[in-house]
Structure 1
Amino acid sequence: MENETMNPAKVSTSSSVWWLVLLAAAGTFALTMGTRQTMGFFLSPLNTATGLGVGSISLAFAFGQLWWGLTQPFAGAVADRIGAGRVLLAGVLLVALGTFITPLMTSTWGLILAIGVLSAGGAGMAGPSVLMAATTRLMPAERRGMATGIVNAGGSFGQFLMAPLAAALTLGLGWAGAMQALALIVLLALPAAWVLRGPGPAPVAGAAPAPLALPTGEAIRKALANPSYLMLSAGFFVCGFHVAFLATHLPGVVAACGLPAPVGAWALGIIGLFNIIGSLAMGWAVGRWRMKSLLSLVYATRAVAVLIFLLAPKTEAVMLTFAAVMGLTFLSTVPPTVGLVAKFFGTGNMAMLFGLVMLSHQIGGFLGAWLGGQVFEATGNYDWVWTIDIVLAVGAALIHLPIRESVVVRQLRPA
């Protein structure tokens, strides 16, 4: 009898399903993350229209950073129980609703509701914890590293694509019309909820049934009692600090260096572009080297890059080269982090447990964005933040080395 695993029709069908899963997850991440990242583009028009002041409007954005992180473990826990489809459906609708009503808000609390609660919360529900977990469940083990790299690159591509799209829409429709057009564009992600629905088994002939999720409390207790999981979360906290500081303050760094303002825009664009390359490269590397070693390498690279940047003359070429290096490491931490969580605990509670790691990332992000502004106001430069950045990066590189890449919880499967 012909071996089913070698049947060309079976292989072709499986490959088609895999690519459909990747398109759905990466496309959703591109639309939700891309739309969320364009919100800063509308800060000045919002200030002009409402007269609330940059500080009050920034509060809505800052709250959104935390809320995006806080929603992910809860969304993940729900997705682990009822499947990713309905969680993604609700998330996409909330992003669209929050973005659509933002131009109608005239108070600080209204903006906090629209930007900080609805849009950011929806982006958290349709964010990396749920998307990565759904992708991990629906892909065979040998393809998961590259798959998470592709999904991660989708978010980077969304950032790279949606900013110029928002600018073009603003020219044609005005800023309010542009925001509402972006809200409608987000709805293109709705079909992905059907593709990624359910906690079901991987679509491979003869695959084992999907693992059963542990009770939420038990899963959290096992995770928090595991030193490797805690060290991984600590490293991701550092990643959030780096990413948020750069995303928020890089244009200010460019200005402080006496470089033309367009260099800041180019630097942010280069970070987004090289982030795609870094994400794909890391996805490829995850299946070939120890994941904890890859994470240590990424953080060590950041420490060296920041140190060289501090010592180098602040020319346009140096700034753009620095942006490219940081872009390569920007979110390349995600695939090995996802891979280690899956290796420790399996995929039964994947969305919730990775969501907790993402929460650590966002707490670091809040501190990176907030501390950068505080230090600049106090000293007139960012030197102390760069120093903290280097110390944290070295610490993160070292803290990953003792991680044990072994199974913590054996996956339970239905009889």
Structure 2
Amino acid sequence: MSIFRFPLLVWMGIGTLIISLGIRQSFGIFMMPISNYFDTGREFFSLAIALQNLLFGVFQPFVGMASDRWGAQKVIWAGSVSYGLGLYLTSIAIEPSWLYLSLGALVGLGLSATSYVIVLGAVARVVPAEHTAKAFGLTTAAGSFGMFAMIPGAQLLLSELNWQNTLQIFAMLCCLMLAFSCFIRCNSQTSKDQPEYTAADQTLSDALKEAFSNRSYWLIHMGFFVCGFHVMFIATHLPSYLADKGLPGTTAAMALANVGIFNIFGTYFWGVVGDKFNKRYVMTALYLLRTVVIAAFVIFPVTVETAAFFGSAIGFCWLGTVPLTSGLVRQIFGARYLSTLYGLVFFTHQLGSFLGAWFGGRIYDYYGSYEPIWWTTVVMAFLAALIHLPVDDRPIARHPATA
């Protein structure tokens, strides 16, 4: 199936992700103007963003269940309202404590209802199973494009306007997600080779029991935990690591920019490969590539050139795990409760993200060096490669219940 033949729902989902994740990635450039406005230092803003990310993960399974029960359209609609309201309340805040509710809780809820789990769950119901990974790769890559494109726009608005007006413009962008949600209606399609059996008759409770009793589901959780650990450790601590090596701040900015650019191409690439080859072996190859890339970065001298190459190489396999992981869950358990089951896996990813950011600082303070945590990420990448080998990716056969 050509990408140009994907249903309208896929393109509306892509538009939703560009806005939702693009705005999210721009929050860092608001730290200074908001902190200076309230004259409280940076800690309170950082805590609000940390709360947002934690609740993003906590809300995800429940929002996924709501999507499976009432449909992605209603969930995205509610998430867009929560997202826009959170941004607007932040723009008119007169006390810094408001940000914990607005930028933290409301935006965190909005993100969980307008990001990958919900959109990919909707996409899975309209794209045949044999083309799922490609569709997921394209959708995830579009979200990466939003991350790359929104930050310059936010910076331009901040230079011309104040931070309050910029956030209000972002709140209005959430109305576009509302419009996009009107076209996200699911008419399930299944592959002739991979029928959904009696998934339509399966209850949510049955689906959860089935997944939690499945060893492969837990292996997928473990692999995605490693991904979260990698992503947040690198995103949080790479600038400090490069600064410790005596490199200028522009080096970290360039490396992270390369992550964003190469992530766009890499995510779609891994999605396409996941449709052509066994997804568990593709996942193993991806994590082996991460193992080599991170180990090489630690072994070789850290220079401007090696930092740029590391950003490009790690960016190529940065979010390639998303279409493959969600594709595996869909392949094994079907599309009916994908938002719930993948939402739980995503929560595990967020736990890994939390620990990656925290342990990075903890280990540095204890040892006075990032070397131990870098080698830990190498070992974890290799273990994640091995973890996916025993995954049984055969679709579960369900049979009609007898009267």
TM over 0.5: yes
- Indicate which of 50, 56, 72 corresponds to 1:84: 72
Aligned-residue RMSD, C-alpha: 2.4
In structure 1, what is the equivalent of residue 207 of structure 2?
A: 219
Deviation of residue 400 (structure 1)? 0.8
Q: What residue identity is the alignment partner of 1:120?
A: G
Where do residues 396-411 of structure 1 align in structure 2 (5 Å cutoff)? 396-408=384-396, 410=398
8 Å CA contact 1:346, 1:410 repeated in 2: no
User: Any idea what the Cα deviations from partners look like across 1:327-347, whole Å, max 9, x if unmatched?
Assistant: 011000011111110111111
| Alignment check: 8 A CA contact 1:60 1:108 kept | no
**Alpha-carbon distance in structure 1 between the residues aligned to 2:332 and 2:258:** 34
Tell me which residue corresponds to 2:236: 248
Where structure 1 has 5 or more consecutive residues not aligned to the other structure, the ranges are: 1-10
Task: Tell me how far apart the structure 1 counterparts of residues 386 and 5 of structure 2 sit (CA, whole Å).
Answer: 39
> In 1, are the aligned partners of 2:22 and 2:147 still within 8 Å (CA)?
yes
Distance 2:46 2:386 in 1: 35
More off after superposition, 254-263 vs 152-161: 254-263
Distance of aligned partners of 1:293 and 1:15 in 2 relative to their CA distance in 1, 3 Å threshold: closer
Secondary structure (helix, strand or coil) at the match of 2:277 reads coil
Partners of 2:368 and 2:174 in 1: how far apart?
Answer: 39
* Identity, % of aligned positions: 35
Query: In the alignment, what sits opposite 2:152?
Result: 164
- What letter corresponds to residue 96 of structure 1 in structure 2? G
Which amino acid letter does the alignment assign opposite residue 193 of structure 1?
A: S
- Residue 412 to residue 193, structure 1, CA distance change in 2 (3 Å): farther
Alpha-carbon offset, residue 284 of structure 1: 0.8
User: What does the per-residue CA deviation read over 1:156-187, in whole Å, with 9 as the maximum and x for residues that have no partner?
Assistant: 00100011111000001122222221222232
Deviations 1:12-52 (A, max 9, x none): xx987725222111111111011111111111222111223
- Within the alignment, does 1:258 sit opposite 2:234 as a pair? no
Q: Which residue of structure 1 lines up, in the alignment, with residue 91 of structure 2? A: 103
Correspondent of 1:278 among 251, 255, 266: 266
Q: C-alpha displacement at 1:305, in angstroms?
A: 0.9
1:36 aligns with 2:4: no
Q: Which residue of 1 aligns with 2:362?
A: 374
2:123 aligns to what?
135
1:302-343 superposed Cα distances (whole Å, 9 cap, x missing partner): 111111101111111100100001101100001111111011
User: C-alpha displacement at 1:136, in angstroms?
Assistant: 0.8
Contact 1:212–1:412 under 8 Å retained in 2: no
Structure 2: which amino acid aligns with 1:128? Answer: Y
1:66 maps onto 2:50 in alignment: no
Matched-pair contact (CA < 8 Å) for 1:35–1:186: no
SS at match of 1:355: helix
Residue type matched to 1:255 in 2?
Answer: A
Residues 116-135 of structure 1: pairs in structure 2 closer than 5 A: 116-135=104-123
Check if 1:178 corresponds to 2:188.
no
Mark the CA change 1:172 to 1:88 in structure 2 (over 3 Å): closer, same or farther.
same
Determine the structure 1 residue equivalent to 2:286.
298
Amino acid at match of 2:176: L
Provide the C-alpha distance between the structure 2 equivalents of 1:23 and 1:237, rounded to a whole number of angstroms: 29
- Which residue of 2 is the match for residue 288 of structure 1? 276
Instruction: Tell me how far apart the structure 2 counterparts of residues 221 and 331 of structure 1 sit (CA, whole Å).
Output: 28
Give the TM-score normalised by the residue count of structure 2: 0.93
